[in-house]
Structure 1
């Protein structure tokens, strides 16, 4: 059995509670609409994970699970501290190769991650890195996950986060393979672009329904 067959999938996420998630979507969307879009993105992400041949699936959650939590995932709480510490702690729960993704890329599908989870996914590789269009990263895989030194101190949520994180890997002598560049959903413009790229996702459908609701509400107010 290859190392890929022993790979753990980590999904780090925040429970979709209005006012606590996707706050940069507000405005133009209300906190409740932003939370509905976040929930849809999370459902899409978790569903993609179920289609991967992962040995183990962990939802590393800030908040309380809801009816959007599918069977097939172990739900564990996020650690305290900054995002770098929380990511390091999530990897620390794994004993073999692990790939971590977030909830901000609902266009993610199993085919995109097939190179990591397929046969030979870790042959000649110590890490996988998925860059994000905003300068961050949407995926990080480590063959030896209990390496907090690879994450602690990396400045998160900046335009240079991805470059610093990837440099941390290569400076440690790791052989890094890259996944495709993806766009995170942070703003309304991001949401529209991602929905257009993945029109069959729950996220895209929720965005369309939200836009239709806002149009009807605006039209009604003008009469």
Structure 2
């Protein structure tokens, strides 16, 4: 019995993926974010989660949200928003975001296994991101206190979060490192990794328009 938390926000121009502007317009950046979210929803739909939570900031839900229990994001910093949704879960719980549309089922395969390594049981899985953050955090016993106070969206966010887990005495397994889409270079890299994705199709179309 494993719970998924997908944290996402409404893809409103000027509120999402603003670092892609330029070369993309704010409207194109928002459409690309919507494609990334759609790809992520499609991937996790095939995985055997017993509970799916969409922790959402916004009013217009994305396609596919009907398969999720929708929980509004609380006010406060990202650490508070993540902590609050972990606190309403029990049992093994996996957090992911909407910025890794190249996500494959195999990237999350360990969370459906025995939660152990050669040295014994594991308490958590940690998926580092290339920008110094993290794309996934899985906890056997969800506890928001493990996230509150961690400075988010910094180049040392992942290191600080991992240190917090270790200081709490948790044994942590490693998920693959993935690229978060922050810049246009990230977007192009991710599109190459997932050429058949909605994300790649949208980006290709937008960049073709830019170069005309």
Specify the TM-score bucket, using the shorter chain as the normaliser: over 0.9
Q: TM-score, normalised by structure 1?
A: 0.90
Question: Separation in 2 of the partners of 1:90 and 1:171?
Answer: 22
Runs of 4 or more, structure 1, over 4 Å off, are: none
Which residue of structure 2 lines up, in the alignment, with residue 126 of structure 1?
123
Cα displacement string for residues 43-77 of structure 1 (whole angstroms, at most 9, x for unaligned residues): 01111111110010111001023352343111111
1:120-159 correspondence to structure 2 within 5 Å: 120-121=114-115, 124-145=121-142, 147-159=143-155
Question: Separation in 2 of the partners of 1:14 and 1:182?
Answer: 20
Which residue of structure 2 lines up, in the alignment, with residue 86 of structure 1?
81
Cα displacement string for residues 132-184 of structure 1 (whole angstroms, at most 9, x for unaligned residues): 11100000011111x22211111111110000000000110001001011110
Partner-residue secondary structure (3-state), 1:71: helix
Which residue of structure 2 lines up, in the alignment, with residue 33 of structure 1?
28
Tell me if structure 1 keeps the 8 A contact 2:79–2:147: yes
Query: 5+ unaligned residues in a row in structure 2: which ranges?
Result: none
Which residue of structure 2 lines up, in the alignment, with residue 160 of structure 1?
156
The higher radius of gyration belongs to 1
Which residue of structure 1 lines up, in the alignment, with residue 47 of structure 2?
52
Tell me if structure 2 keeps the 8 A contact 1:18–1:32: yes
Q: TM-score, normalised by structure 2?
A: 0.95
> How many correspondences in the alignment?
209
Deviation at 1:85, TM superposition (A): 0.4
Q: CA RMSD in A?
A: 1.3
